[in-house]
Chain A
Amino acid sequence: EDQVTQSPEALRLQEGESSSLNCSYTVSGLRGLFWYRQDPGKGPEFLFTLYSAGEEKEKERLKATLTKKESFLHITAPKPEDSATYLCAVQGTQGGSEKLVFGKGTKLTVNP
């Protein structure tokens, strides 16, 4: 069974204080690993897809990396508007491969 564990559950940073969020996963065969951002009361918004170990993707202050067991979302010099819950999900290649399995998320708060 595919599983995703995100840590920490919550993270408070000062503006400009860089950090990383972790997503550990087990999957029978990885089709893709996804990062989403979710603001309160809204649906998740897509950030990145990673397909294979060693891959990296960047968008503004965010950089996602992938190994065979985990993914990191690095946040460089965060701003208050980066405050949100960040969700990680995996899609496997085995039965029911249309499904994504989500982690519980990391709630990030960036204080000015």
Chain B
Amino acid sequence: DVKVTQSSRYLVKRTGEKVFLECVQDMDHENMFWYRQDPGLGLRLIYFSYDVKMKEKGDIPEGYSVSREKKERFSLILESASTNQTSMYLCASNENSGANVLTFGAGSRLTVL
């Protein structure tokens, strides 16, 4: 069964801490995405990557960075966490052709105190 695995389901961090959210997919997908999901706002795209070492800003990249050193792994980095980054973070991946279904991970719920 194909999978997108997010290493941390629940995290609690303090304001100003550096936070790493890790995502690994085993489907050999070219594209990987990071979304955040908030009540009333839906899913919003933070960053995506269409190849190793390539990245594109999504709709809300401020305060975030990403890293993709290997095809299967896409990391989201909060350089200095703030309370307004408390959210559910969802990683997803798909193939780079046509209309391709996104496969999502289970999500990482981050609380910043």
Contact = CB atoms under 8 A, between A and B. Distances in A.
Contacts of A103: 42
Interface stretch (B12-20, B63-71, B94-102): B94-102
Interface string B98-110: 1111111111010
Nearest to A47: B101
A43 B101 contact: no
A51 B100 CA distance: 11
A104 B101 contact: no
A105 interface: yes
A32 B90 contact: no
Nearest to A32: B99
Given A42-B107, A104-B41, A98 B48 contact: yes
A45 interface: yes
Interface in B24-64: 31, 33, 35, 40-43, 45, 48, 50, 56, 58
29 contacts: A31-B99, A34-B99, A36-B104, A41-B107, A41-B109, A42-B106, A42-B107, A43-B4, A43-B90, A43-B92, A43-B104, A43-B105, A43-B106, A44-B90, A44-B104, A46-B103, A49-B99, A87-B42, A89-B102, A91-B99, A96-B56, A98-B48, A98-B94, A98-B96, A102-B35, A102-B42, A102-B43, A103-B42, A105-B42
Interface of A: 31-32, 34, 36, 41-46, 49, 51, 87, 89, 91, 96, 98-100, 102-105
Interface of B: 4, 31, 33, 35, 40-43, 45, 48, 50, 56, 58, 90, 92, 94, 96, 98-107, 109
